[in-house]
Structure 1
């Protein structure tokens, strides 16, 4: 099919809030591309996801103009530079579209001038999903292993999926579950709800695996008294995750749900699960565990070492959260910023 190019997208002010009952989101599944093989892997996964949910696929490439030390730069030269960079982006989009091959999915392409992460955030206001690879050549994907990896998932207005190179192949034909990492926070519960929806939407419906992790106390915090009962702490965490699963099961009675408390570092647990999961889901903010990690330096570990697609779900109010307390113990600590 022939892709349609346009420059640029209509921006949405980051300070504006979308109204309730927002109509169908026009960009569908958005993927940032920069011409790298990792970018192509993300586009392949995004195309399949767009087909699965019957949405268009929007390929976006962005560029920034170099900053010259002198203000006395010939305006004509600047214009030529702008045109050349835009043309390079168009060529990248054309090559990516060709690599994706024939498809019934509507493919749209756009060239944008601006910081790649900010461009993606702008698109997220009217997108069902953002997709990118965790590494690249310094464009969209390269930013995700730098400081922007902390900002993009938190700033995006829709879920963000990171697809490592080599993980673009479908795992639908396997027994792979959708995995959700939860730390007991409200943000973690939002991620659980989205993960359950993702599991039900996949054909055939796959099971949902809910995990949480407890890092070894004795080795991590040596100043704690020796009387600390790690087994009791582990059992308490297991009771809380089981209560969360009971709550989730009532909202999704047809879904097969399993849970496990993993003895280990949360980020390591996410990375290990991503190797065999159909999709691994985490939240953007929380108590310093899975969700909180995405705002700290450990986000680098998830972004750099995940072995399968990881969906990062932004927090949003959900009426289904209101009855969680009826199902048993919760972590009642306030989330940290």
Structure 2
């Protein structure tokens, strides 16, 4: 257990036990600092351990001059620098009085974090890591991790700094944040699992769950369709399914306030706008079989790249609570 006087846990060669709490990727950049602050507060909220991780590879370069061959940078020097970054990072969140450890790994950053995701509850990282210790650790892995991690991932952009109290709040960003967890849905099984995790997050935070379903307007690209689609009937059908989904959620989360927004327009735009005022926005990794025009797989990257707040991406997984969904009303058939 850390304390303000004992500023940090010493980086250890390996975790003991296997990490089951929140893993955060650290590279010394401002982006990873935002991710660290968010992850530490989430660990406090969930009452789980926080695991700080950094990874590096030893550069090899061709030697110049008359002597041929290759030269390497001293591994000990790099490791000492990485350990210093971890100690400094741990000291910044020591006041939260959470169980915390730190780890330096020699290897590919994405591979290290993906391996740890097999047992972690949550994997947290910044949107990019320019200027960081290990050469854009976060920038090089943040695109790959959401699609391949075994646990939910959270991307924390640098623009979160004001709301986290880590930068001047010039535009009043902190004041705009509502007690809302937003989740994007498209009627797919993947989206239903994302909704369950979003509901858990909202319940844990004491927040309202906002469900957004955005349906793209038809354009000239669909001129080949043999008959015009009755948009009013389509929206009425979707609304019936959303209402049934709300009843299902209320069955499993009876005290959770739920708000549903059925919109016509870009899913990316709707969810990006939601990141400015939501505590967190939750999405699935793909949405095959869902409502036309709201495919989560095609929107996830767009939202993450323009988000103003934390984004949680949830991979599809079977959940026993999904088994009774059909008992509460119609489901969209793929």
- Normalised to the residue count of structure 2, the TM-score between the two structures is 0.83
Q: Distance in 1 between matches of 2:257 and 2:250?
A: 8
For structure 1, the 5+ residue unaligned runs are 11-23
Q: Which residue of 1 is the match for residue 11 of structure 2?
A: 5
CA deviation after TM superposition for structure 1 residue 173, in Å: 10
For residue 153 of structure 1, what is the aligned residue in structure 2?
A: 146
1:46 to 39, 44, 50: 39
Change (3 A) 1:127 1:173: farther
Partner of 2:329: 328
2-structure distance, mates of 1:85, 1:53: 34
| 68 and 198 in structure 1: CA distance in 2 versus 1, 3 angstrom threshold | same
Confirm whether residue 187 of structure 1 aligns to residue 190 of structure 2: yes
Would you say the 8 A contact 1:62–1:139 is kept in 2? Answer: no
Q: Where does residue 170 of structure 2 map in the other structure?
A: none
Structure-2 residue corresponding to 1:303: 304
1:95 and 2:96 correspond: no
Aligned-partner SS, 2:74: helix
For these two proteins, the number of residue pairs brought into alignment is 308
Provide the rounded CA distance (Å) in 2 between the counterparts of 1:236 and 1:157: 34
Aligned to 2:138: 141
Question: Is residue 274 from structure 1 mapped to residue 271 from structure 2 by the alignment?
Answer: no
Pairwise CA distance, 1:311: 1.0
Mapped partners of 1:305, 1:173: distance in 2:
17
1:124-139 equivalences in 2 (<5 Å) = 124-137=117-130, 138-139=135-136
**Shift of the alpha carbon at 1:257?**
0.9
Alpha-carbon distance between aligned partners in 2 of 1:109 and 1:9, rounded to the nearest angstrom: 8
1:226 Cα deviation from its structure 2 partner: 6.0
Distance in 1 between residues matched to 2:117 and 2:147, nearest whole Å: 11
Give matches, 1:11-26, under 5 Å: 26=19
**Cα distance in 1, alignment partners of residues 81 and 289 from structure 2:** 41
1:317 pairs with 2:318: yes
| Mean Cα deviation higher: 151-160 or 284-293 | 284-293
Is the partner of 2:212 in helix, strand or coil?
A: strand
| Contact map agreement 1:116 1:139 (CA 8 A) in 2 | no
Specify the alignment match of 2:238 in structure 1: 237
Paired position in structure 1 for 2:30: 37
CA contact (8 A) 1:33 1:93 kept: yes
Equivalent residue in structure 2 for 1:165, among 150, 158, 163: 158
Deviates more, 1:36-45 or 1:58-67: 58-67
Shift of 1:174: 5.6
C-alpha distance in structure 1 between counterparts of 2:34 and 2:114, whole Å: 21
Q: 1:328 to 1:92 in 2, by over 3 A?
A: same
Q: Report how far residue 66 of structure 1 moved.
A: 2.9
The TM-score normalised by the length of structure 1 is 0.82
Give the C-alpha shift of residue 39 in structure 1: 0.7
Classify the secondary structure of the residue corresponding to 1:5: coil
